[in-house]
Structure formats: C-alpha cells, structure tokens
Amino acid sequence: DGGITQSPKYLFRKEGQNVTLSCEQNLNHDAMYWYRQDPGQGLRLIYYSQIVNDFQKGDIAEGYSVSREKKESFPLTVTSAQKNPTAFYLCASRDRDRGGNQPQHFGDGTRLSIL
C-alpha cells in the first residue's frame, strides 16, 4: 500500500538537544512538506521541497533544518535553537505533475514534547 510513514509517533527532547523526525513516502511524489500544528490551531508550513536536493523555507523555518537527499525521504531536524518545539508535526507529499494542482497527502504525525 502506498503512503507516508512518519516516525516516531511520540518523541521527547531534552534541553539543548537536536532531534530528527523521519518522513518516508512510497507514492513517488516529487514534492514534500513539513507542517507544525499547535493545539487548537491550523497548520503552519516549516519547510518544503519540490525536488531532490532542493528545499525552501516556509513561514516558520527558524530553529528547524531539513535535507532531501532521496526522493522518498524528507527528514526534519528540530534544533536546540527552536525554543518552543512542543507541537504535532505533520509531513505531507504531493505529485507535482499535471499543473501542480494535486492535493497533499499526509502522514499520521509525530508528537514532540520537551522533557
């Protein structure tokens, strides 16, 4: 079955620590996205990548970093510079063909908390 897998489901971070959230997709989608969702709020775009070895900052990129070395993988690192990392993180992917109008498909999310 094709889909997007995020791991781990729950993650805890200590002060001063970097943590990496995994996102893997087997949908053969070119574009991938990372969002942050805070309680009772909508989605805010952190980073996105339209093609391998290329990515762009979203609306709240500070304190985060990404890489896109493979088409199927788009890991997100939450660095120690992100002072309020507690949130639900969602990864999405999208087929860029046919005029860029395809919907995004989402993983099940990773909930990150501070210890």
* Binding positions for another protein, rule: CB under 8 A: 4, 6, 31, 40-43, 45, 48, 50, 56, 58, 90, 92, 94, 99-101, 103-109, 111
Residue 37 or 79 with smaller CB distance to another protein: 37
Strands 76-78, 19-25: pairing is antiparallel
Residue type, 55: F
Contacts with 99 (C-beta within 8 Å, 6 or more apart), sequence order: none
Residue 8 or 100 with smaller CB distance to another protein: 100
**Shortest CB 75 distance to another protein, Å:** 17
Residue 68 and residue 3: Cα distance in Å, rounded? Answer: 18
Residue 16 or 99 with smaller CB distance to another protein: 99
